[in-house]
Structure 1
Amino acid sequence: MMKWKDLRTRVRYYGQYFPLTLNAFVVALALWLCFRIVRPTEPVKGEEVSSFKPLIQLMGKTALWFIVALIGFSVLTTFLCWLHYLLLRRHNRYQLEFDFKPDGQHKGLWIETLLRKARRPFLGFIKGRLFYDDRRLTDKFPMASDKRKARQFWREGVSGKSRILLPDIKEYAINGGAVYFEDMLQLFSLPVIQRVKGHFYQAPGQVSLHEQEALPRRAEQTETRIDQLRKVEGEYLNYKGFEGGDDVRRIVWKVYAKSRELVVRVPEIFDPYASHIYFYASFHTNLKTAQRHNDFAAEMLNYYKERVWTAYEILAGKEWEVKYLPDQQLQIPEQLNGAAFVQRVISNSTWHKDRELTSYFEPRYGSVLCISSFNDPSEVAQLLDQCSAETVVYYVKLSDTFRSFLPWTWLKRLFLLRPEDRLKRIRGRWLLSPLRLQLIRREKEIEKALQNSNVTVGNI
């Protein structure tokens, strides 16, 4: 049986092909009422008729017909511009051209669009929208500016720059689009389907962070020497054969008792080339599939990504080189590197149950680890026992995603105020969600494990 959410998505998708809008019915009703008002009526017998009444009716009728003519002319030019673009698309194969640019200060993206050779209706509009991820639609974005080539008078087409905000921080696949020609009152919205393809991603933004100092543990290459010697732990139970000059106090007698071979433990060394910070962020969870893929989990994933990206970007601005190690396999363009690569990886990461925290993080090398309330508390406690005070653990408390003044949220819904986004729409339901109680128990256990450990804890 089709879910209500899927049905609503399908109705919205196919409804865009219907050219009449709600405005058309409202304006038609308003015009009918106006004509009824200005229509001449026979005076009632014995009623005194004002000498100004015919003049007022004439003025009202004249103004009404002027408005009707103006609206009609706008509607006519809308149809003509729509037919003109259909011919352009058929003969010249013109399509909607677009390019995405990140919004550096706020969540969302800027989209720059161009529709070549198109004409705008008289006092009307040209708008566009994109289809992504199986019949989902972006909001309409206007194209209201004339695009001209350098040193030429004739227009190249109509263009626009708009900010679009999508629900999740992730990569989206574009599988089509549409251009709409609308009149001055938006009575008609005439679509032209655009067969466009592409990918774009909504990047995480920055949030405030109580910064903790993180220092390198080990280097991959001995090319960058640092002034301060850093301790690098040897491999646990990593032995080598006894050689002349080795300290006899490091002989492992247990191994000698079993194999009659003299071996020594590899000691901790002070490496003058420890110039890399290894940054880990775990997206692992052992929650059920339904709990990993509902609206609550999606919002908590966005919340977590923003804080992981913030921690990375702040560390990347320091003197050390930061290396981010993802915990899942992702297809990222090879031409990306540095911060752009990490931002793309974080954006595409999802909650998963494949790679556990204990098999992902290397306590000997890792300097920074990000964990969340979705991680298994027993795994967190097991891992923290292997970490030293030099390990910085950023703990993201996911229940804070829905932190708000709930009575005010319910009061707004009582007066039928439409929520601005999905987070505000589901915030009121979070209080009654079974996932909330489960998450609170996890958070208490993780916080207890962090308090009993030696690591440096940072809360985001």
Structure 2
Amino acid sequence: MKKLAYYFSFLPFQLNFFVLLFVTAGAYALVQNKYSNLQEQTYFILLLRALVMFTAVLFMLMVGIAFFTALICWLYFWVYRRSHKESPLQVSIGDGDKAEAGYISLGLLATGIIKPLLGHVKGRIVFADNRISAALTLDEPVFGKSPLIRTAIKAGRPVWIPDIKEHEVQKAVLYFEDMFRLFSFPFVVSNIQKLLTVPARSEAIAVDVNPDKTQDQTQRIQTPRKTRGELLNYKNFEAGDDIRRIVWKIYAKSRELVVKIPETMDPYASHIHFHPSFYTSTMVSDDLKNAMLNYYKIRIRQVYEALLRTEFAVKYIPDQELAAADDTHEEEATWLYELSTSVWQSAKDATDYMASRREGIYCISSLIPMFEMEELFSNKTPDTLVILVKVSDLWQNQQAFHWTSLFMKTDEHPLDALKRKWLLSPHRRKIITNEKQVQQYLEGQLFRTIIL
């Protein structure tokens, strides 16, 4: 159906043209059927025939004016496009080529446009996954140095783009419409362009961390920080250790002797290795899974920015191979690009980086099956911090049913319809049960756990 609607959008005839044609033909047929056999040439018959003739001529004149005004503007843009190497169209989201996912201002800027007399110029954006945007009316002039000379024309409207990823624009289609909207001449412009939607900022949270040194410490800080203090870090009991520092609670649970490490003052900045995991298994349909992925990315950004507010240097380590960002010179853009372009993955070797490392900060989703937990976190030390994101919480703030819609028309959030599908999903109970099991497992480990 999407392809059919796409191809129908290239028809040069608008709905108004067919309506006018039907009404005119119907009126002419009615007059001919009722009055064509009359022999008497009364004034009424003559006047009626003259009126029909006048209507036919006026219709032809209107159609001709509408046709040629739109066609001339289309031909002018065709000549302009052939004489310029650069693309006359530029697509934007938000204030540029990057914006937070959700309701985003989608814009289109075009040069070399002459609007038809009292007509309109509209545009649609075609993405690589065959998605077509809503029609954008180019009605806002852009002036250069002179306030009287228009250099371009642009359009913009808020659209719902929930998926957090890199969107590839394949082309844009311009439609030159006449004043009566009888004709619409399309013009396709190839416009390979990439637009990035990033996770939206959410409420700030605090994450208490005290990492080990993960890299050589060369950056000295002004105020020495406390590191490896009591109740924070432990190590196995060795000969010469103070037996008063033995943690008997851990011994009673695991039969291993560990001691508290005395607190010291470290004058160097430590590094945090942040490991977000997108490992999961196929439990739900693609649309529900994509919505949960978007929610998971928002939570990861919330945690990562909380780590950035600490005095430690934070390094984002993705669990999958990603294309390099175009603006890698900006450190913030690099990690945000890697987060935004990550996808759910189920490759077993991609999770080895979690199981092989003993320490660090890990962020996992509740879509990881319970039977994978022990393999991933069996060798973690008390220095490890695991952050669990319960992706089913996405649906808590959504309303599946709006009772007010029975009495009045209400605007429904796009996620509300997905919540109804979530409530009817046969895998919902399985996911919620898995979340509870994972949470109980993590809370029973020696390392620290944060539940979001």
- Opposite residue 369 of structure 1, the aligned amino acid is Y
Distance apart, 1:346 and its partner CA: 1.0
Distance apart, 1:345 and its partner CA: 0.7
Question: 1:20-35 maps to which residues of 2 (within 5 A)?
Answer: 20-26=13-19
- Opposite residue 396 of structure 1, the aligned amino acid is V
Counterpart among 219, 224, 227 of residue 224 in structure 2 = 227
Is structure 2 residue 277 aligned with structure 1 residue 294?
A: no
Counterpart among 177, 195, 209 of residue 190 in structure 2 = 195
Is structure 2 residue 273 aligned with structure 1 residue 278?
A: yes
Counterpart among 144, 147, 152 of residue 149 in structure 1 = 144
Where does the alignment leave 5 or more consecutive residues of structure 2 unmatched? 36-46, 243-257
> Is the 2:365–2:389 Cα contact (8 Å) retained in structure 1?
yes
> Is the 2:102–2:162 Cα contact (8 Å) retained in structure 1?
no
> Is the 1:88–1:94 Cα contact (8 Å) retained in structure 2?
no
Distance 1:397 1:76 in 2: 60
1:176 aligned counterpart, secondary structure: strand
1:296 aligned counterpart, secondary structure: helix
- Opposite residue 131 of structure 2, the aligned amino acid is R
Instruction: Report the CA distance shift for 1:415/1:429 in structure 2 as closer, same or farther (over 3 A).
Output: farther
Distance apart, 1:352 and its partner CA: 0.7
TM-score, with structure 2 as normaliser: 0.74
- What residue number does 1:212 align with? 207
1:131 aligned counterpart, secondary structure: strand
Distance apart, 1:411 and its partner CA: 6.7
Distance 1:322 1:88 in 2: 50
Instruction: Report the CA distance shift for 1:334/1:81 in structure 2 as closer, same or farther (over 3 A).
Output: closer
Distance 2:425 2:346 in 1: 22
Distance 1:410 1:294 in 2: 30
- What residue number does 2:119 align with? 124
Question: 1:374-385 maps to which residues of 2 (within 5 A)?
Answer: 374-381=367-374, 383=376
Distance apart, 1:191 and its partner CA: 0.8
- Opposite residue 406 of structure 1, the aligned amino acid is A
- What residue number does 1:257 align with? none
2:200 aligned counterpart, secondary structure: coil
Distance apart, 1:112 and its partner CA: 4.6
Instruction: Report the CA distance shift for 1:316/1:249 in structure 2 as closer, same or farther (over 3 A).
Output: closer
Query: Per-residue CA shift, 1:130-185, capped at 9, x if unaligned?
Result: 22224322222232122332147433232334444434111122222211112345
Distance 1:198 1:102 in 2: 9
- What residue number does 2:307 align with? 315
- Opposite residue 229 of structure 1, the aligned amino acid is K
Distance apart, 1:356 and its partner CA: 5.6
Which region of structure 1 is more displaced relative to structure 2, 180-189 or 193-202? 180-189
- Opposite residue 346 of structure 2, the aligned amino acid is K
Instruction: Report the CA distance shift for 1:13/1:224 in structure 2 as closer, same or farther (over 3 A).
Output: farther
Instruction: Report the CA distance shift for 1:103/1:331 in structure 2 as closer, same or farther (over 3 A).
Output: closer
- What residue number does 2:135 align with? 140
Counterpart among 368, 373, 395 of residue 366 in structure 2 = 373
TM-score, with structure 1 as normaliser: 0.73
Distance apart, 1:186 and its partner CA: 3.7
Counterpart among 405, 427, 434 of residue 426 in structure 2 = 434
> Is the 1:409–1:428 Cα contact (8 Å) retained in structure 2?
no
- What residue number does 2:71 align with? 79
- What residue number does 1:341 align with? 334
Distance apart, 1:338 and its partner CA: 1.8
1:227 aligned counterpart, secondary structure: strand
- What residue number does 1:405 align with? 399
- What residue number does 1:5 align with? none
- Opposite residue 222 of structure 1, the aligned amino acid is T
Query: Per-residue CA shift, 1:80-114, capped at 9, x if unaligned?
Result: 21122122223435633315326767635545533
Which region of structure 1 is more displaced relative to structure 2, 104-113 or 315-324? 104-113
Where does the alignment leave 5 or more consecutive residues of structure 1 unmatched? 1-7, 43-53, 238-245, 251-264
> Number of residue pairs matched?
412
> Is the 2:91–2:108 Cα contact (8 Å) retained in structure 1?
yes
Distance apart, 1:234 and its partner CA: 11
- Opposite residue 10 of structure 2, the aligned amino acid is Y
- What residue number does 2:440 align with? 448
Query: Per-residue CA shift, 1:272-307, capped at 9, x if unaligned?
Result: 43522222211001x24xx47721111111111111
Distance 1:131 1:31 in 2: 36
Distance 2:343 2:124 in 1: 27
- Opposite residue 118 of structure 2, the aligned amino acid is L
Distance 2:301 2:365 in 1: 14
Which region of structure 1 is more displaced relative to structure 2, 438-447 or 203-212? 203-212
- Opposite residue 408 of structure 1, the aligned amino acid is H
Distance 1:127 1:150 in 2: 26
- What residue number does 1:353 align with? 346
Counterpart among 294, 312, 322 of residue 330 in structure 1 = 322
2:364 aligned counterpart, secondary structure: strand
2:151 aligned counterpart, secondary structure: strand
- What residue number does 2:40 align with? none
